[in-house]
Structures are given as C-alpha cells and as structure tokens.
Amino acid sequence: FVLEQEEYKKEGIDWVFVDFGMDLQSCIELFEKPLGLLSILEEESMFPKATDKSFTEKLNANHLGKSPNFIKPKPPKPGQVEAHFAIVHYAGTVPYNLSGWLEKNKDPLNDTVVDQFKKGTNELVQLIFADHPGQSGGGDGGGKGRGKKSGGFSTVSSGYRDQLNNLMRTLNSTSPHFIRCIVPNEVKTPSLIDAALVMHQLT
C-alpha cells in the first residue's frame, strides 16, 4: 500500500495520504528480536520446569518498561479473563492471557495420528503433515521436503516463524499488482448501482 501511494504521488493523483502504521518497527522487534516474545516462548517451551508464571515473569523482565508496545493490561471487567500483558498494535491495544501457552506451543500431537494422516488418501492432509516428524522421524518422500530429524523438537511458534519467513521471501521476490474493488452501493444489495457513489470512487 505504501508503494501504491508512492505511485499516486508520481502520477499527480489528488490523494489524501493514509498512514498505514510505518512506525510498526518497534512492534515487529518486540516479536522478532533475539529476546523477543517468540524467542522467549520458544526457550520456555524447551524447559520441562517452565510454567506460565515463569514465562510471564521472563516477558515482563525483558520488555515491561523497555518496549513502548509491551504494557501492563487494564484490570479485567466483570466476566472477563485476567490478562497477563498487553501489546499496542497499530489497530489498538490487545490484552493477552498466557494460560496454557507453553503446553499449546509444544503441540503434543500423537505421532501415531500423524503417521496415519501421512498415509491417508487426502493429498491436502498429506501435504500439511509432510514435515511433521511423526514416529518415522521425518517427512515421507525419500529426503524431500524439510522433514525434522528423529527426536527433533518442533513447536508451533517455530513452525509459524518458518512459514512467515517463507511467505516474506515469496512476497519480496514478487511485484505487487493491486486490484481495485468498487463498492456499488452502501446497503449491500445485489444488482443495485449507486451511480454517485461509483463515480466518487472513480474520480
């Protein structure tokens, strides 16, 4: 979107600049830096004695008061679950409750189930679980893919990070093309064209 606005400026289009939150770097670093949220989550997931409490304490020690995007949450309203911290995103402040994060991040999926998914006839399911170690300790396919070594420890957060890095590599290797959608009317009714609204979007 930023590139698109640059294109508008080059073409002399009358355009009101929209700030898409290019000050997101501090928020990105909060997640990605060496002692960021994902790294600490990964680290704590590998310690058998780690708890939600120790995870919370480590996050607070590394980020509370040090990152403008990591803040104490507001007290919960009646009926709400208590939050352990809050992150200031571009869209607003979002509170997070850490209960069960470490266990969920370990993704204790039964290896027997994984092997059955791999041997199934559904190609999509096979593809999804191709890189999951399972009992065999790696993806099927004679060394193809990114199969984990037998006994390797993979977490949800590490898988997410790998997928995100692959996505960013793909996006960075492409040229964006924008498709403009024109809203025909404001009442979401089919086969109804509000000519003035359409012309406003085209001019």
What's residue 27's pLDDT?
87
Q: What are the E-state strand segments in the chain?
A: 70-71, 85-89, 92-96
Instruction: Residue 94: name the closest of 37, 55, 40 by CA.
Output: 37
Q: Is the pLDDT of residue 139 over 90?
A: no
Position 24 pLDDT exceeds 80: no
Rounded to the nearest 5 percent, the helix, strand and coil shares of the chain are 40, 5, 50
The tokens describing 160, both together, are 């997410």
Asked if 38 contacts 55 with a C-beta cutoff of 8 angstroms, the reply is no
pLDDT tens by residue, 87-123: 998 778 999 999 999 999 987 677 788 888 888 899 9
Residue 162 predicted with pLDDT over 50: yes
Mean residue pLDDT of the chain comes to 83
Domains, the chain: 1-106 (1.20.58.530)
CA distance 94 to 83: 9
> Sorting pLDDT into bands at 50, 70 and 90, what band is 14?
confident
* Long-range contact pairs involving 135-143 (C-beta distance under 8 Å, separation at least 24): 135/111
Q: Is the pLDDT of residue 1 over 90?
A: no
pLDDT given for residue 25 in this prediction? 81
Position 147 confidence tier, pLDDT thresholds 50, 70, 90 = very low
